[in-house]
Amino acid sequence: MRISPPTRRAFLVGAAAVSLPLCVRAQAYQPGGALNIVKFDRPGDASVNSYILVGPRSQVILDCQRTAVEARQLVAMARGLELPVEAIVLSHEHPDHVGGAQVVRDAFPDAAMLASETTHDVIRRDGAAMMAEMKRFFGPVMPDAVPIPTRILRPGERLRLAGVEWQVDQLGPCEAAGMTMLYAEAQGILFAADLVGNRVTPWLVDGHTTAWLAELVAARQRYAGVGLALPGHGSAAPMVALVDEQRAYLESFRAEVMATIGTAQPTPEALSAIRSKTESRYPGYPKVAPPPDLIERNARAVAAELARR
Which residues in this chain contact Zn ion in the complex, by CB under 5 A?
96, 194, 232
| Residue 169 CB burial class (10 angstroms; 0-12, 13-18, ≥19) | buried
CB of residue 175 vs Zn ion: minimum separation in angstroms?
7
CB of 94 vs Zn ion, minimal distance in Å? 5
Instruction: Give the E-state strand segments of the chain in sequence order.
Output: 8-13, 16-21, 25-32, 35-41, 50-54, 59-62, 85-89, 112-116, 151-153, 158-161, 164-171, 179-184, 189-197, 228-233
- Shortest approach of Zn ion to residue 145 CB, angstroms? 20
| Cβ-based nearer residue to Zn ion, 86 or 93 | 93
- The counts of H helices and E strands in the chain are 8, 14
CB of 45 to Zn ion, least distance (A): 13
Taken in order 146, 147, 148, 152, is the CA torsion positive or negative? negative
The span from the CA of 14 to the CA of 37, in Å, is 36
CB of 252 to Zn ion, least distance (A): 20
Nearer to Zn ion, 92 or 300 (CB): 92
Looking at beta carbons only, is 47 or 102 nearer to Zn ion?
47
The residue (of 108 and 203) whose beta carbon lies closer to Zn ion is 203
HSE-up of 217 (CA within 13 Å, CB side)?
A: 7
Cβ 151 to Zn ion shortest distance, Å:
22
Judged by CB, which is closer to Zn ion: 115, or 270? 115
Question: Closer to Zn ion at the Cβ: 96 or 169?
Answer: 96
